[in-house]
Amino acid sequence: MSDFAVAPARRGVRFSPGWLIAIVVTALLVAPLAAPDSFRWALSYPTAWVVPVSDWLRAFLYWLVRDLSFGLFTFKDMTRFVASLFAAALQVPKSIFSTGVTFGEDGFHIPRLSWAGIVCAMGIWGYMLGGARLAALGALGFGYIALFGQWDSAMVTLSQVVLAVAFGVFSGLMLGIWAFRSPRLQPAVVATLDFMQTVPTFAYLVPLIFLVGVGPVSGLMATILYAMPPMVRVTMMALKAVPPELDELGRMTGCTTRQALWKVLVPSARDDLLIGVNQVIMLTLNMIIIAAMVGAGGLGFDVLNALRQPNGLGKGLEAGMAVVALAIVLDRMSRAVVELRPVHGHAAVVRRRYVWAGLAALLGFTLLSFAIPELEVLPRDWRVSTGSMWSEVVSFVNTHLFTAAEAFRTFILLNLLLPVKKALIGMPWPALIALVGAGAWRLGGWRFALGMMALIAFIPVAGLWERGMTTIYLCGISAILAILIGVPLGVLGSRSDRLHKILGTLCDTLQTMPAFVYLLPVVMLFRIGDVSAMVAIVLYSLVPAIRFTDHGLRRVPPSLTEAGTMAGCTPMQRLLKVELPYALPEIMLGVNQVIMMALSMLVVSSFVGTNDLGKQIQVAISQADPGKGLSAGLAIAFLGILTDRMIGRWVAARKAQMGLV
Amino acid sequence: MAAASQAATVAPPVAAKTLAPAERPVALTCRNLWKVYGDGAAAFMQANETPSPEDIRQARLFAAVRDVTLEVGRGEIFIIMGLSGSGKSTLVRCMSRLVEPTAGGVFFEHKSLLRMTDEELIQLRRHKMGMVFQNFALLPHRTVLGNVAFPLEVQGMGKAEREARALKVIELVGLGDKSGHYPRELSGGQQQRVGIARSLAVEPDLWFLDEPFSALDPLIRHEMQNEFLRLQRLLSKTIVFITHDFDEAIRLGDRVAIMKDGAVIQVGTPEQLVISPASDYVSAFTKHVSRAKVLRVGSIAVPAREGEHLGGAVSASAGVAEVAALSVDSTAPLAVVDEAGTLVGKLERAAVIEVLVSGARA
C-alpha cells in the first residue's frame, strides 16, 4: 500500500444496496395499501398460488401407512411393532406404580408400591440428599398427592415418566456418544437437534397418532422424541468438556476404546450428564402432561378435562397442583443427586444406611399392604378434597375480581391486541418477506437473506397467512411484554444478592411447572381468548429474560464498572452506558430463548381459544389430519429457526466487535 | 554423521552429542522425529525430508516437533526443558504415541513404536509405560485406592490382587492413611502423589512425567522434587521428565534437552549446559544459575605437577559448592581423585572462589 491516491469517487453508484433495499421494502409496504385495487394479489395471497404442502404431507403419510413395504413387512407393521414394544415396556412401571399385578379374575394380587412407602422413602432419601428441607419437600409433595386424591392419576403419569426418562436418557446418551466419537457427523447431529427443538411439541403428536394410533404409546413416543435431544446435546458437550489429560490417561494406561469410554470418560462427565438427566425428566413431565391430548391419561387428562368443562376449574387446579408438586419434587431431588459428592468412611456408611432405610420403608409398607389394603389404596373417606374450596375461590374471584379483570381484558384487547393483529394480517405479504430479507441482509449478506426469506415465505405459500400472522402477532406481543417485565427484573436481581436469590427461586418454580398448568389461573381470571393466551405465554416465557439479564450483568468485569464509577458515572449512567451495552449480547440470547418458549407455548395456549398455527395443530389432532398438523408445525419451526438464526448472527457479530469471542 | 551400521530394524546410532551416557544401555530413541500440524502435513513431510521453517510456513503448516534426535539411557532421568509452546509436551506424547508423529522414528528397547499395531501398543502401555500428568488427571469418582488400582484393573487383574498392589504403592508415596479418600478431599501435593502412585502401579520400565509439579506451589514443589529423587533412588526407572523450570531441570536431571520452537537446541548434563551453552538462548537460562551448584570439581581441576604438596582428596564428581568450605580452609590445593581413587588433578583455591563469586554476581 505505497500510494495513497484518493480513491476514485464512486459517483456512478448513487445508492448503496442498503438504500435500494429500503426503497423496495417501503414500496412493497405502501403501494398495496395505497392502491388496494391494483395490488389485490399482494394484500391477500391468491388461493391459486398456494402450494398444497398439507396435501402433499398427507399424501406422503398415507403412502407410508398404506403402500410402503419392505418386502417381508410393511411400514405399518413396523410402526405397530415398535408401538407394541413400547406398550409392553410401559406395562412394567405401570404395574409397579399404578396397577399392581393381578393373576386372573379376582386372583392373587400383588399390590402396587404403597403410597405410605413412597411418602416415607421420599422423606428419607430427601433427607439424605438435601437435609430437612428436601425431606419435607419430598414427603409433603407426595403426601399432598396421596391425601388429595390425586394418587391414581399421578402414578399413571409417573410410570410414563419413568419409562420415557429411562428410554430418553439411554438413547440420548448413546446417540451423544456416537456423535462425539465421529466428528464428521457432529454438524449434522447438531443441526437436527436444533430443528427438533424448534418444532413445537405437538407437531410430533400428529403423525404419531396417525402411525401408532391414539393412546399412551403415541404420547410416550412423542415425549421421548421431545425430551431426548437435550440429552444428546449434553452428552456431546459433557464428553468434550472432560479434560484432555483424562483422555490421555485412559490411553496411557492401555484402555481399550470401551474401557476408556465407560471407565474414564463417562464417569468423569458424571455431573454434566446428570444435569442432562434432570433436563430430560423435566421435559418429559412437561410433555407427558400435554400428551394427555392423545390419550395418555394421568394428571394431564384431569387438567385438560377441567379446562374443557365449564365448572371444572376447581378440580383442574387440584390436579394442576399435583402436577406442580410432582414436578418440583422430581426436579429438586434429581438436582440434589447432581450435587451429591462421593464420601468415604463414616459418612459413606451413614449414606448407605439412608439408602437402605428408604428402600426398607418402600418395600415394608408395600408388603404390609398385602394385609392392610388401605396402604395400597387410600380409602376415599380419608382423602381430603380441596375441589370445593378451589371452586369457591374461583367463584370468589369471579364475583370480586371479575370487573377489574374484565376491564383489564377489554382494555388490552381493544387497545393493544386487536389493532396489532389487524395491522399484521392486513400487511401485504411481499412486504413481510422483503422486511425479513432486508433485516437478514444487514446481518449476514445476500445468501443469508435468501435463506431467511425462504423460511418466512413458507407461511403465505403454504396458505397459512392468517394463522401465521396471528402467531407472529401473539408471540411478538407476548415476547415484548415478557422482555419489558423480565429485563428490568433481571437488572434489579443483578443489583442485589437478596433479590437475586428470590428471583432465582421464582424462575426455578416457573420453569418447573409444565406449560399446561399456566392456563388454569389465567383462564380463571380472563376467560377464553387472546388475552388469556397472551398472559399465559408471558408467564411461561418470562424466565429467560430475567435469567439472562441478571447473569449477563453479573458477568460484567469489575474493572469495567470501576472504570465507569471512576469516570464519575451515576449508578444509572453506569448501568445504561457501561453495563447494559456490555451485557447486551447475553441479554439477546435471553430474548431468543423468550421467543422460542413463546413459540412452544402456542399449541398449549391454543386451548384457550386463539386462532393461530397452534390451533391448526390442535384441530389436526382432533381430525387426525397429519398433513395440516405437520404443515403448521413446520411453519412454527421455521419461525423459530428464523429468529434463532437472526439473533444468533447479531450476537455473534456484536461479540466479535467487542472482542469477546 | 555417516553411521557405520545401517540396520534399519534396530535403532540407528545418533549424533554423539545426543548419545546416552556410555555406561547406560539405550532405552528410548527418537530419530529425526517430526510432528507437523495442518492439512496435508503427512504428504508434505514425505516430499520434503528436512524442510526449513520457511518451507513449513509457506505450506501453511505448523511444526510442533522438528527433527528431534535423541537417546535416553536406561535408568536415566532425562529432562526435556522448554518454555510453553516449545513443543516439549508434543514431543513426549510422540514418544508414547499419544500423538502420532508425522515423520521419523521412535524406538523403545530397539523396537519401533510406530510400527506397532494398536493391540501391541495397548499391551506396551499397560505393562511398560507410566505417565504423570500436570493437572493430576485423577478420576473424580474413584477413591485414592480406586485411582491407583485403575491401570491394573484395565489390565484385567483381579480385585484382591490389584488392591493389594495398589496399597503397596500408596504406602510408597506416603499416603497409606488416605487410601479411602476421594481426590477432591486431598491437597494438590497429595493429589499428585496419587498420580505418581498410579503411574507406578504397573511397575513401568519407562516413566513419563509431564510437568508433574508445575501446578503446585513452590514449597510443595520442592518437597515433591525430593520425594521424586527418593523414589528414583529406590526404583531406578528410565524417566522422561518435562518441565519449563530450568532450576528443576538441573536439580533433577542426569541430562537435559533444551527445546525451542519444536527443535532440541542442546542436550547435555546440567554442567555442560552451564559451562558451554550452545547458544544465547541456552545461556539466557544458565546465567542465573548458581555455577557452584552445577559445576563438578573435575571440570575446574587443573593438572597437578609431579610431587606437588596437595591438601585433602575430593571426588571429581562432587559439586563445587560441596567442597567450597574445605578448599577455602585448606592452605594447599586439594587433590582431585576419580572413583577409583586415582589422582586426576588439583583444585586451586582461586578457581573455587572464582566459581563462587560468579555465582553470586548472577
Cα(B51)–Cα(B44) distance, integer angstroms: 9
Q: What's the pLDDT score for residue B163?
A: 94
Residue recorded with cell 540396520? B7
> Given the C-alpha cell 399413571, which residue does it identify?
A156
pLDDT band at A137 (very low <50, low <70, confident <90, very high): very high
Contact A342 B153 (CB under 8 A): no
* Domain definitions of chain A by residue range: 112-147+309-396, 159-297, 401-425+464-661
Question: Closest Cα of chain B to A246: distance in Å?
Answer: 5
Give yes or no for residue A154 having a pLDDT over 60. Answer: yes
SS (H, E, C) chain B: CCCCCCCCCCCCCCCHHHCCCCCCCEEEEEEEEEEEECCCHHHHHHHCCCCCHHHHHHCCCEEEEEEEEEEEECCCEEEEEECCCCCHHHHHHHHCCCCCCCEEEEEECCEECCCCCHHHHHHHHHHCEEEECCCCCCCCCCCHHHHHHHHHHHHCCCHHHHHHHHHHHHHHCCCHHHCCCCHHHCCHHHHHHHHHHHHHCCCCCEEEEECCCCCCCHHHHHHHHHHHHHHHHHHCCEEEEEECCHHHHHHHCCEEEEEECCEEEEEECHHHHHHCCCCHHHHHHHCCCCHHHHCEHHHHCECCCCCCCCCCEEECCCEHHHHHHHHHHCCCCEEEECCCCCEEEEECHHHHHHHHHHHHHC
Q: Are B66 and B50 in contact (CB under 8 A)?
A: no
Residues of chain A above pLDDT 90, percent: 26
Mean of the pLDDT values across residues A170-190?
90
pLDDT tens for residues A396-423?
Answer: 877 888 788 888 888 888 888 889 988 8
Q: What is the pLDDT of residue A1?
A: 41
Rounded to 5 degrees, what angle do the CA atoms A625, A628, A632 make?
A: 140
Residue B170: pLDDT band by 50, 70, 90 thresholds? very high
Give the separation between CA A616 and CA A614, rounded to whole angstroms. Answer: 5
- Letter for the amino acid at B308? E
pLDDT tens across A449-488, in order? 999 999 999 989 888 888 889 889 999 999 999 999 999 9
Give me the pLDDT at residue A28, please: 80
| B202/A243 Cβ within 8 A | no
pLDDT grade, residue A82 (50/70/90)? confident
Q: At CA B285, angle to CA B92 and CA B215, rounded to 5?
A: 50
Task: Evaluate whether B73 touches B238 at the Cβ level (below 8 Å).
Answer: yes
Quote the pLDDT of residue A3.
Answer: 44
B135 versus A606: the higher-pLDDT residue is B135
d(CA A222, CA A201) in angstroms, rounded, equals 8
What percentage of chain B carries pLDDT values higher than 70? 92
Do the beta carbons of residue B70 and residue B265 sit within 8 Å?
Answer: no
Most B CBs within 10 A among A247, A248, A251, A252, hence the mutation to make, goes to: A252
Res. A10: pLDDT tops 60: no
**Cross-chain Cβ contact A252/B184 below 8 Å:** no
Q: Which residue has the cell 507406578?
A: B200
Amino acid at A137: L
Question: CATH number, domain at B356?
Answer: 3.90.1280.20
Fold of A401-425+464-661: MetI-like fold (1.10.3720)
Answer whether residue B3 shows pLDDT above 50: no
Q: Which of B335, B333, B360 is nearest to B348 (CA)?
A: B333
- HSE, CB side, 13 Å, CA atoms: give it for residue A62: 9
Contacts of B151 in chain A (CB under 8 A): 253-254
**How high is the pLDDT of residue B247?**
87
Q: Is the pLDDT of residue B149 over 90?
A: yes
- Which pLDDT belongs to residue B21? 59
Look at A207-216, A486-495, B11-20 and tell me which has the smallest mean pLDDT: B11-20
**Spatial separation of the C-alpha atoms in residues A424 and A418, rounded to whole Å:** 10
Q: How far is B98 from chain A (nearest CA, A)?
A: 7
pLDDT reading at B4 higher than 70: no
- Provide the 10 A C-beta neighbour count for residue A65: 16
Rounded Cα distance, A294 and A213, in Å: 9
Q: At A399, which amino acid appears?
A: T
- The minimal CB distance from B96 to the residues A252, A259, A343 is found for A252
Angstrom distance (rounded) from CA A90 to CA A160: 7
Task: Determine the 3-state secondary structure of A74 from DSSP.
Answer: strand
> Is B133 a member of any domain?
no
Q: Going by DSSP bridges, is the β-strand pair B334-337/B313-315 parallel, antiparallel, or unpaired?
A: parallel
- Is A254 touching B (CB cutoff 8 A)? yes
To the nearest whole Å, the CA of B290 is away from the closest chain A CA by 35
Tell if the CB–CB gap between A246 and B125 is shorter than 8 Å.
Answer: no
Quickly count: other Cβ atoms within 10 Å of residue B161's Cβ.
11
Q: For residue A247, give the C-alpha cell.
A: 483422555
Share of chain B above pLDDT 90, in %: 48
Given this model, what pLDDT does residue B92 score? 94
pLDDT tens, position by position, A325-360? 998 899 899 989 888 888 888 888 999 999 999 999
Instruction: Write out A422-446 in H/E/C secondary structure.
Output: HHHHHCCHHHHHHHHHHHHHHHHHH
Task: Give the Cβ contact number of residue B240 at 10 Å.
Answer: 26
Q: Check if the beta carbon of residue B129 is closer than 8 Å to that of residue B201.
A: no
pLDDT at res. B12: 41
The contacts of residue A315 (CB under 8 Å, 6+ apart) are A302, A305, A306, A387, A390
Q: d(Cα B21, Cα B242) in Å, to the nearest integer?
A: 20
**Is residue B76 within 8 Å of residue B142, measured between CB atoms?**
no
The continuous run of DSSP H or E covering A110 comes out as: strand A109-110
Chain A residues touching residue B136 (CB < 8 angstroms) = 245
Angstroms from B207 CA to nearest CA on chain A: 11
CA-nearest residue of chain A to B204?
A253
Residue-level pLDDT at A15: 57
Nearest to B265 by CA among B13, B17, B16: B17
> B133, A249: Cβ pair inside 8 Å?
yes
pLDDT (0 to 100) of residue A382:
76
H, E, C per residue of A466-515? HHHHHHHHHHHHHHHHHHHHHHHHHHHHHHCHHHHHHHHHHHHHHHHCCH
pLDDT above 70 (res A12): no
Taken in order B227, B233, B237, B239, is the CA torsion positive or negative? positive
For position B251, what pLDDT does the model report?
87
Contact predicate A466/A425, CB 8 Å: yes
Which candidate, A485, A141, A451, places its Cα nearest to that of A324? A141
Average pLDDT on B95-111 reads 92
What span, in angstroms and rounded, lies between the C-alpha atoms of A361 and A148?
22
Q: How confident is the model at residue B9 (pLDDT cuts 50, 70, 90)?
A: very low
**pLDDT confidence of A40, banded at 50, 70, 90?**
confident
Q: How many CB pairs under 8 A join A and B?
A: 74
Report the Cα A278 to chain-centroid distance in Å.
14
Cβ count within 10 A of residue A6? 5
Residue B9's contacts (CB-CB under 8 Å, 6 or more residues apart) are B112
A421: cell is 393483529
Domain range for B303: 291-361
Mean model confidence pLDDT for chain A: 85
Chain centroid to CA A604: how far? Answer: 11
Please report the pLDDT score of residue A202 as a whole number.
Answer: 67
Across the interface, of A251, A259, A264, the residue whose CB is closest to B139 is A264
The DSSP-derived string for A36-66 is TTTTHHHHS--GGG---HHHHHHHHHHHHHH
Pairing mode of beta strands B129-132, B26-37: unpaired
Distance from CA of A266 to the nearest CA of B (A): 10
pLDDT tens-place string over residues A204-251:
777 777 777 778 888 888 888 888 888 998 999 999 989 999 999 999
C-alpha cell at A603: 399449541
pLDDT average, residue stretch A646-658: 87
Query: Phi/psi at B68 (nearest 5 deg)?
Result: -90, 125
- pLDDT surpasses 80 at B159: yes
Tell me the mean pLDDT in the region A640-660: 86
User: Closest to A246 (Cβ–Cβ): which among B137, B143, B180?
Assistant: B137
- The answer to whether position B345 is within a domain reads yes
Q: Would you say residue A611 has pLDDT above 60?
A: yes
- List beta partners, residue B259: B82, B264
What's the rounded Cα separation, in Å, for the pair A350 and A352?
Answer: 5
* pLDDT(A5) > 70: no
Q: A352 at the B interface (CB within 8 A)?
A: no
CA-closest candidate to residue A21, choices A440, A459, A447: A440
Question: Where residue B79 falls among pLDDT bands split at 50, 70, 90?
Answer: very high
pLDDT range class, residue A310, cuts 50, 70, 90 = low
3 state DSSP class of A69 = strand
Residue B335 confidence (pLDDT): 86
Query: Is A337 in the B-facing interface, judged by CB distances under 8 Å?
Result: no
d(CA A364, CA A358): 10
- Where residue A19 falls among pLDDT bands split at 50, 70, 90? confident
What are the backbone angles phi and psi of residue B199, rounded to the nearest 5°? Answer: -70, -20
DSSP A73: S
Is the pLDDT confidence value at B192 over 90?
yes
Domain assignment present for residue B317? The answer is yes
Decide if A252 and B135 are in contact by the 8 Å CB cutoff: no
pLDDT for B324 equals 83
B103 beta partners: B34
**Phi, psi for residue A376 in degrees, rounded to 5:** -85, -55
Predicted confidence band of residue A303 (pLDDT cuts 50, 70, 90): confident
Q: How far is CA A622 from CA A224, A334, A361, A520, in A?
A: 22, 36, 44, 22
Number of structural domains found in chain B: 1
Rounded to the nearest angstrom, the minimum Cα separation between A240 and chain B is: 15
Determine the pLDDT at residue A14. 56
Contact residues of B toward A, CB < 8 A: 93, 96, 98, 121-127, 129-131, 133-137, 139-143, 150-151, 153-155, 180-182, 184-185, 202, 208
Residues of A in contact with B135 (CB under 8 A): 243, 245
Q: Least CA distance to B126: which residue of chain A?
A: A254
Q: How many residues does chain B have?
A: 362
Rounded Cα–Cα distance for residues A397 and A103 (Å): 50
Q: What value does the mean pLDDT of chain B take?
A: 86
Q: What count of residues does chain A have?
A: 661
Give chain A positions within 8 Å (CB) of B139: 246, 249, 263-264, 267-268
Rounded to a whole number, what is the largest CA-CA distance in chain A? Answer: 101
How far A244 CA lies from chain B's nearest CA (Å)?
A: 9
| pLDDT band at residue B144 using 50, 70 and 90 as cut-offs | very high
Does residue B332 sit within a domain?
Answer: yes
Of B135, B180, B181, the CB nearest to A245: B135
Nearest CA among A509, A466, A515, A507 for reference residue A490: A507
The domain A159-297 having CATH identifier 1.10.3720.10: the answer here is: yes
- A448 pLDDT above the threshold of 80: yes
Q: Between B315 and A333, name the one with better pLDDT.
A: A333
